Amino acid sequence: MPETGRSLEIIEPVGLRVLVRKDEERRTTRGGIHLPDEAKIPVITGRIVALSAQVENDPDYPLSKYDKVILDPRNSIPVDFEKDNRLFVVPVEDIVAVYRRPEAPASEQPEEGEDLEF
C-alpha cells in the first residue's frame, strides 16, 4: 500500500532538452570480440524517457517518448536519480539521430481485413 502524503518525484526537462536513459555499455562487439576493461568506448545510444514541452510541441524536432537515439554525450548532464545513474539531461541539438523502422510501401501493405502471415 503506498505511503500517504508522499509524492513521487519526476524529472521534467525544460527548454530545448530531453531526458535520456543511456543503454548499458557493451563489453563485447557485435562480431564477438571481448573488449578489455581499459577500452573506453563512449555509450552514445539510449531511449528518450521525457521531453520538454518546448521540444514536444516543436515540429522541427521529430522526437517522441521512447525513441531510441544516438547522442553526443559531451554536453549531457547526469541526473543522480537512480542507483545506476543512467539518466541524462541532453540538449536537443546533441541528439544526432533517431532509429526509425522503414514503412512498407503501400503496395506491400495488407488490404483491410486481410490476414497477416508471420
- Give 27-80 pLDDT, tens digit per residue: 666 676 666 666 555 668 999 999 999 999 999 999 999 999 999 988 999 988
Per the domain annotation, does 110 fall within a domain?
Answer: no
Residues 93 and 21: their CA atoms lie apart, in Å, by: 17
Residues 64 and 105: their CA atoms lie apart, in Å, by: 23
Q: Please list, in sequence order, all residues whose beta carbon lies within 8 angstroms of the beta carbon of residue 51, skipping any fewer than 6 positions away.
A: 13, 18, 19, 63, 64, 65
Per the domain annotation, does 67 fall within a domain?
Answer: yes
Specify the pTM: 0.67
Which domain range does residue 21 map to? 17-25+39-100
Q: How many domains does the chain have?
A: 1
Question: What CATH number has the domain bearing residue 80?
Answer: 2.30.33.40
Per the domain annotation, does 2 fall within a domain?
Answer: no
CA angle 35/36/41 to nearest 5° reads 60
Per the domain annotation, does 108 fall within a domain?
Answer: no
Per the domain annotation, does 57 fall within a domain?
Answer: yes
